[in-house]
Amino acid sequence: MPSGRFQTETPPPISPVLGPVILSPQAVKIEAVSKVSTLRKMGVVARVARDQAGRSRTLSAIMSGARTTLRSFWHAIHQLWLEVTGTLFLFIAAFGAIALFREYTKYQAGHTTASRLAVVVCFTVTFAWFGLSSFWRVRRKGQRH
């Protein structure tokens, strides 16, 4: 092996299974390209399958039906969510109204401050607003569909 500044040979790669293996540098490049090539092939296959599915009237009809069904289910689930949260907010506002009555009677008797009464009023009004606006949103969405 000649020694000098311009050494052209590289040491052979060592395989963990087989030990030293003599491969050309191109073989290593082909292995790296084949991994990328497999990913590209999978992408091409997916694109071709998608395009073919778009051309099939049966598959297009099934996909359209599935989209319509899912949209309908989503609308119903969203409406139910708004109604449930609205009901919970109104229940919380009802508890706030009970506390408001209690605090007001204490305020009239001089046993509590106006700031405590104001906090209870704000709490009750806020949760009543959340509950009512949730039901208003349900009604507005129902009119659109």
pLDDT beyond 60 at 15: no
Mean predicted lDDT score pLDDT of the chain: 82
pLDDT at res. 119: 96
pLDDT beyond 60 at 68: yes
| More confident call, 122 vs 142 | 122
pLDDT at res. 58: 84
Residues 85, 137 contacting (CB under 8 angstroms): no
Tokens of 13: 């790669």
Please count the CA atoms within 13 angstroms of the CA of 78 that sit on its side-chain side.
13
pLDDT in tens, 17-41: 555 656 555 555 555 545 557 888 8
Mean pLDDT for 58-81 is: 92
| More confident call, 11 vs 89 | 89
pLDDT at res. 5: 58
Look at the block and give the residue holding tokens 């540098």.
25
